[in-house]
């Protein structure tokens, strides 16, 4: 069975998780946050990847695709019959993109890339005020996350842009305004 996939990308704190939760509620799309899946795997008893994942998360670097892609694929298999999947925060670099293509080509239909664009200073203050106790929501990790985003993830968005797959929505506005534009892409 070929699943519809929408990639959701944007800087740390741009609102990917917030917007995906709302889409999941209103449309038959399942929200799969690569970061949430990695955080769950980090906590899972018996996981051999816990320390490796934690190291990457606090340093704002990117976990090897074999781990992330497997977590995403397992979650997709577990979800059953849905309209599609929102893949939030992935692919983040060339390694992610190549590993995903190698594993998933033919199994998924990539509809488009939702790019939530937002000035970095706003993104950082959102993360610092989030209050969820994430080990990467501190000034030092955030600086590194932004460097990684600019050097590795933004080029992936540009790559998708070249093939006309990117739908940009400016996300520095109030959530309801951002979401009103996102809804048009799914209706
Ligand atoms: N908020 C949201 N929208 C708002 C709005 N419009 N107006 C005002 N406030 C708004 O939002 C962040 C905060 O802002 C929240 O408090 C929210 O209420 C508020 P959120 O929706 O959580 O933003 P999001 O873009 O999801 O931010 P997040 O911090 O999750 O993004 P990251 O991309 O940094 O984090 P992620 O969890 O995807 O990845 C974390 C780490 O995991 C990475 O740095 C990396 O080390 C690792 N990772 C991989 O290695 N590989 C992967 O494939 C994925 C992750
Ligand atoms: Mg998130």
Question: How many residues are there in the chain?
Answer: 187
Instruction: Output the pTM of the full model.
Output: 0.98
pLDDT in tens, 48-85: 999 999 999 999 999 999 999 999 999 999 998 899 99
Quote the CA–CA distance of 168 and 184 in Å, as a whole number: 12
Query: Tokens 């940009």 belong to which residue?
Result: 168
CATH number of 3-179: 3.40.50.300
What pLDDT, on a 0 to 100 scale, did the predictor assign at position 11? 98
Question: Considering the chain, what is the average pLDDT of its residues?
Answer: 97
Mutate to test the pocket of ligand 1, among 18, 116, 143 (most ligand atoms within 8 A of CB): 18
Q: Indicate the helix (H) or strand (E) that contains 166.
A: strand 166-170
CA dihedral 160, 54, 137, 159 (to 10 degrees): -10
Quote the CA–CA distance of 75 and 88 in Å, as a whole number: 13
Q: Is the pLDDT of residue 165 over 90?
A: yes
Quote the CA–CA distance of 39 and 36 in Å, as a whole number: 5
Q: Indicate the helix (H) or strand (E) that contains 185.
A: helix 175-186
- Closest atom of ligand 1 to 178 CA is 6
Please list all protein residues whose beta carbon sits less than 5 angstroms from ligand 2, which is an ion. Answer: 16-17
Q: Please, are residues 116 and 19 in contact by the beta-carbon 8 Å criterion?
A: yes
Annotated binding-site members: 13-18, 39, 61-63, 89-92, 96, 130, 134, 145, 173
Which tokens belong to 96?
């992610």
Quote the CA–CA distance of 183 and 42 in Å, as a whole number: 33
Quote the CA–CA distance of 84 and 133 in Å, as a whole number: 30
At how many degrees (to 10) do helices 120-128 and 139-148 cross? 140
Query: Quick one: which ligand is closest to 36's CA?
Result: 1
CA dihedral 154, 160, 162, 164 (to 10 degrees): -130
Ligand 2 centroid distance, CA of 88 (Å): 7
pLDDT in tens, 88-115: 999 999 999 999 999 999 999 999 999 9
Which tokens belong to 35?
């970061």
**ipTM value for the complex:** 0.99
Ligand 1 within 6 A of CB of 141: no
């Amino acid at each position: 069975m070929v699943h519809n996939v929408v990639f959701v990308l944007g800087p740390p704190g741009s609102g990917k998780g917030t917007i995906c939760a709302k889409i999941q509620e209103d449309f038959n799309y399942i929200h799969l946050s690569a970061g949430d899946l990695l955080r769950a795997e980090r906590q899972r008893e018996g996981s051999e990847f816990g320390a490796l994942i934690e190291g990457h998360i606090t340093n704002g670097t990117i976990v090897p695709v074999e781990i992330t892609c497997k977590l995403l694929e397992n979650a997709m298999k577990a979800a059953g019959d849905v309209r599609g999947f929102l893949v939030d925060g992935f692919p983040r670099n060339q390694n992610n993109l190549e590993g995903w293509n190698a594993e998933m080509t033919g199994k998924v239909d990539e509809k488009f890339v939702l790019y939530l664009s937002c000035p970095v200073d706003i993104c950082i203050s959102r993360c610092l005020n989030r209050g969820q106790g994430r080990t990467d929501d501190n000034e030092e990790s955030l600086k590194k996350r932004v460097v990684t985003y600019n050097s590795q993830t933004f080029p992936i968005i540009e790559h998708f842009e070249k093939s006309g797959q990117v739908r940009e929505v400016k996300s520095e506005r109030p959530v309801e305004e951002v979401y009103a534009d996102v809804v048009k892409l799914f209706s």
